[in-house]
Amino acid sequence: MPKMKFIEQDGTIKEVDAPLGLSILEIAHRNKIDLEGACEGSLACSTCHVVIESEWYDLLSPATEDEEDMLDLAFGLTQTSRLGCQIIMSDELDGLTVRLPSATRNIMVG
């Protein structure tokens, strides 16, 4: 089973099982990681914003225009910011490390 790591706001690192085909948001919720996902993965908010560790960023599929639009609303945006609902676990992402931002901004669009 692939694994991934979440770096929480306080610096705690949690390594968890990351089943293939699940999104980072779903993996976080299964493991009680504090990643909100107010729109439940429907790409209508930025509350599942995560910062991808730079060595992993280029392995991801590029963000869609819709994801970029939602990221513009995210708190603490970085060059390697993505929405957790849009990254689906695959074999090549085994070991993926993501950092949770210090805060989220819950602005539902729709």
* Distance, CA of 88 to CA of 60 (rounded, Å): 9
Residue 20 lies in a domain: yes
Residue 106 lies in a domain: no
Residue 91, domain extent:
3-99
pLDDT at 109: 47
**Residue-by-residue pLDDT tens, the chain, 110 positions:** 999 999 999 999 999 999 999 999 999 999 999 999 999 999 999 999 999 999 999 999 999 999 999 999 998 899 999 999 999 999 999 999 999 998 655 554 44
pLDDT at 54: 95
Residue 110 lies in a domain: no
- What per-residue string of b and e applies to 15-36 under the rule 16 or more CB within 10 Å gives b? ebebeeebbbbbbbbeeebebb
pLDDT at 106: 54
Total domains present in the chain = 1
Residue 23 lies in a domain: yes
Domain with residue 36: its CATH number is: 3.10.20.30
